[in-house]
Amino acid sequence: MTETAVRNDELWPLLRRHTQARIGLGRAGSALPTRHRLGLQAAHAAARDAVHSPFAPDTVTAGLQGMPTVRVRSAAGDRPTYLQRPDLGRRLDPVDRAHLPAGDWDVVFVVADGLSSRAVHEHAAALVRATTARLPGWRIAPVVLAEQARVALGDDIAHAMGTALVVVLIGERPGMSAADSLGAYLTYRPVPGVTTDADRNCLSNIRPPLGLTYEVAAGKLAGLMGRGRELGRTGVELKDESDHADVLDRLR
Amino acid sequence: MSTYTATLGGHRYRFGSLARLLAAASPERSGDRLAGLAAASAQERVAARWALAEVPLTRFLAEQVIPYEDDDVTRLIVDTHDPVAFAPVAGLTVGEFREWLLSEAADATALAALAPGLTPEMAAAVSKLMGNADLVAVARKVRVVTAFRSTIGLPGRLATRLQPNHPTDDPAGVAAALLDGLLLGSGDAVIGINPATDSPRAVRDLLDLLDGVISRYAIPTQSCVLCHVTTSLDLMERGAPVDLVFQSIAGTQAANASFGVTLALLDEAYEAARALGRGTVGDNVMYFETGQGSALSADAHHGVDQQTVEARAYAVARRYDPLLVNTVVGFIGPEYLYDGRQILRAALEDHFCGKLLGLPMGLDICYTNHADADDDDIATMLTMLGVAGASFVICTPGGDDIMLNYQSASYHDALYLREVLGLRPAPEFEAWLAGIGLLDERGGLRDTGTGHPLTAIGRELAA
């Protein structure tokens, strides 16, 4: 097809197939047309409501199809505390810490509610299954289901369980177009209170079909995990080269 | 360390250090409470301001809020302080400094000359004695002009960052959003993408896409893919079309370490980008983002309140004569800035301190869905920052970023601001908009619908 084959009134609808961004909205003076202004408000209302929906660990357990799980809470006792005290969301509840098993595992997956339990309910179990399927020979710890949890809670969990690698799958902050986006954070030998965000690798927007699919995310994650274990580190020095031709050269 | 005291309502308040005094004097915000640094009561806060008003500015040269030997940002601040530039205000207290800033003596020339003589802590201190209107009135007198392919910060101008993010960095999705932003007259500060991953390959693809559009349509602007500085260094070595080097920075050495950044690394990237010589009307090659709360978030605040630490990040920024600096105010969440009122205050403080210290300060005026704020707060903040003379604002399609999951200003919001305040785009970009028929006879944006030749960018995707 040539450029002229696209009629003017078809252009924005066709372009919207490539993005959920609010493009081609038109204008009322300088402002948004009324229907788009109300559309934004509706999306914001849905996101506000999503932040406050409770975590249901049973939903994740069911999706893991028999993989063993452990439930923990952070030191943030409820949602309002969680929102205002990130320090408490990074620490385990002392009682729950004592109940965590320790063992000779290569990796522990932590499924954490974060700021969207909806993302976790919809995507976390499938991503754990797709990733573990790419890790033959790895000794995988029971999946930890963590409530009122932030990313760094994984450091405390890995430390308590004696696990070298921790992968935290966590509900990201809901946006207007996406209230169900999952993030994955990979950290090698974290030390609570010492490990920083520069020591982690991150994949965000895991949210099929519009964001990263489980297969793509699992491929990137398993690749990073393998190289992280090989190099003995994660973070800014470990790049996501999964789609890079010279990846082997750079790894030697 | 000195002790600072004030008596208020029959009670004597004591503050054991300059850092404690600054924290107690800071307008209320959730992050300082989280850090355990906030004033214990409203009266203690005002007492701290009385005490702070009496502190001579020279005191800030004698007492560092973070020790010189512990922190390379402190060393940078102390070692680059210019006593000659400082001389005109050297005899003032913080309270007198506020009055001088508001006076006619502090005009654009005087303020520009003063910048190298001010430390971030002096700027932070005086901001704590200033009301929102004071922060606007003084900041609007400061002009900081920078350039690459467009000129940022001229009087009567407001530039925008066009932010065509996509959750999977899909080139077609990015191009569609890029077209939308250009047709709405945006992108003169930078066309800047936050990539979903820091993969060098993905970043390179986006750089090539933006470079292609900028070249093809001869757009007088610059591109940036906001990857880590080490990724930019790597890509520059591989010959990628890097206009601006981006990095998030903070106000302490430890917080910068949490970003994987050192001053040496920034020095290296700065030299590499300048060596490329890709600018046409200027050679400011760095782009920094900052934001209150990042140091506390990294447990790297050293007991200093979040607004003072934020101002210290500007000492890092000004070392590199950046094209653009913006605070991402409100992005970090309600544990640092709880609601629209606190976000507005922080936006005005950051813009004021950045400008006073000589930076081309812009803003990402934004909020997340777990903060108590909405699009009306965006409109309020945008209006005040427009009056304050912000160099640029970040704009997103419909005010909704589908990659970063937050709300910022929209292209429409920027058009509103240009309309009500009579602001115009960067001159080179304005001429380009006129040349391709996107401006009407009054300089306003023409509604060309989908018949405009620029839509070739989208037609190739759609066909």
**B99-108: long-range contacts (C-beta < 8 A, 24 or more apart)?**
B101/B126, B101/B134, B101/B138, B101/B356, B102/B134, B102/B137, B102/B138, B106/B138, B106/B141, B107/B141, B108/B141, B108/B142, B108/B143
Q: Look at B402 and A177 and tell me if their CB atoms are within 8 Å.
A: yes
Q: A48-57, B77-86, B275-284 — which is least confidently predicted? A: A48-57
Instruction: Assess whether the previous peptide bond of A209 is cis (omega < 30° from 0).
Output: yes
Check CB contact of A140 with chain B, cutoff 8 Å. no
What integer is the mean pLDDT of B196-215?
Answer: 94
Per-residue model confidence as pLDDT tens digits over B5-39: 999 999 999 999 999 999 999 999 999 999 999 99
Return residues 171-210 of A near B (CB < 8 Å): 172-178, 181, 193, 196-198, 202-205, 207, 210
Res A243 pLDDT > 50: no
User: Which among B166, B161, B181 is positioned nearest to B394, based on CA atoms?
Assistant: B161
Tell me the pLDDT band of B424, cut-offs 50, 70 and 90.
very high
What's the one-letter identity of residue B370?
H
User: Residue A231 belongs to what domain range?
Assistant: 57-237
Residue A241: its pLDDT value, please? Answer: 58
What integer is the mean pLDDT of B265-289?
Answer: 98
The mean of the pLDDT values for chain A is 90
Residue A247: its pLDDT value, please? Answer: 32
Residue A173: its pLDDT value, please? Answer: 85
Domain membership flag for residue A34: no
Q: Look at A23 and B298 and tell me if their CB atoms are within 8 Å.
A: no
User: Which among A112, A85, A80 is positioned nearest to A182, based on CA atoms?
Assistant: A112
Check CB contact of A244 with chain B, cutoff 8 Å. yes
Shortest CA gap A204–chain B (Å): 6
Q: Residue B391 in contact with residue B423, Cβ under 8 Å? A: no
The tokens describing B261, both together, are 């950044």
Residue B197: its pLDDT value, please? Answer: 85
Res A131 pLDDT > 60: yes
Question: Could you give the CA distance from residue B101 to residue B106 in angstroms, rounded to a whole number?
Answer: 5
Check CB contact of A65 with chain B, cutoff 8 Å. no
Helix (H) / strand (E) containing A26: none
Tell me the pLDDT band of A248, cut-offs 50, 70 and 90.
very low
Q: Residue A95 in contact with residue A154, Cβ under 8 Å? A: no
Shortest CA gap B27–chain A (Å): 18
Q: Mutation test of the interface with chain A: which of B166, B179, B182, B197, choosing the one with the most A Cβ atoms within 10 A?
A: B197
Shortest CA gap B357–chain A (Å): 28
Residue A7: its pLDDT value, please? Answer: 84
Structural domains of chain A, count: 1
Of the candidates B168, B333, B368, the beta carbon closest to that of A211 is on B168
What integer is the mean pLDDT of B80-89?
Answer: 98
What integer is the mean pLDDT of B452-460?
Answer: 89
What integer is the mean pLDDT of B239-263?
Answer: 97
Per-residue model confidence as pLDDT tens digits over B32-69: 999 999 999 999 999 999 999 999 999 999 999 999 99
Homologous superfamily of the B146-451 domain (CATH): Aldolase class I (3.20.20.70)
Shortest CA gap A142–chain B (Å): 28
Per-residue model confidence as pLDDT tens digits over A165-182: 999 999 998 878 778 899
Q: Mutation test of the interface with chain A: which of B158, B209, B370, choosing the one with the most A Cβ atoms within 10 A?
A: B370
Residue B246: its pLDDT value, please? Answer: 98
Three-state secondary structure string covering chain B: CCCEEEEECCEEEEECCHHHHHHHHCCCCHHHHHCCCCCCCHHHHHHHHHHHHCCECCHHHHCCCCCHHHCHHHHHHHHCCCHHHHHHHCCCEHHHHHHHHHCCCCCHHHHHHHHHHCCHHHHHHHHHCCCHHHHHHHHCCCCCCEECCCEECCCCECEEEECCCCCCCCHHHHHHHHHHHHHCCCCCCEEEECCCCCCHHHHHHHHHHHHHHHHHCCCCCCEEECCCHHHHHHHHHCCCCCCCEEEECCCCHHHHHHCCCCHHHHHHHHHHHHHHCCCCCCCCCEEEEECCCHHHHCCCCCCCCHHHHHHHHHHHHHCCCCCEEEEEECCCCCCCCCEHHHHHHHHHHHHHHHHHCCCCEEEEECECCCCECCHHHHHHHHHHHHHCCCCEEEEEHHHEECCCCEECEEHHHHHHHHHHHCCECCHHHHHHHHHCCCECCCCCECCCHHHCHHHHHHHHHHC
CATH number, residue A196: 3.40.50.11240
The mean of the pLDDT values for chain B is 96
Q: Look at A21 and B450 and tell me if their CB atoms are within 8 Å.
A: no
Residue A1: its pLDDT value, please? Answer: 42
Q: How is chain B split into domains, by residue range?
A: 146-451
pTM of the model: 0.85
Residue A2: its pLDDT value, please? Answer: 47
What integer is the mean pLDDT of A192-217?
Answer: 93
Q: Which residues of B touch A175 (CB under 8 A)?
A: 369, 400-402, 404-407
Q: Identify which has the larger pLDDT, A241 or B292.
A: B292
Q: Look at A18 and B164 and tell me if their CB atoms are within 8 Å.
A: no
How many contacts, defined by CB atoms under 8 Å, are there between A and B? 202
Q: Identify which has the larger pLDDT, B198 or B115.
A: B115
Residue A249: its pLDDT value, please? Answer: 34
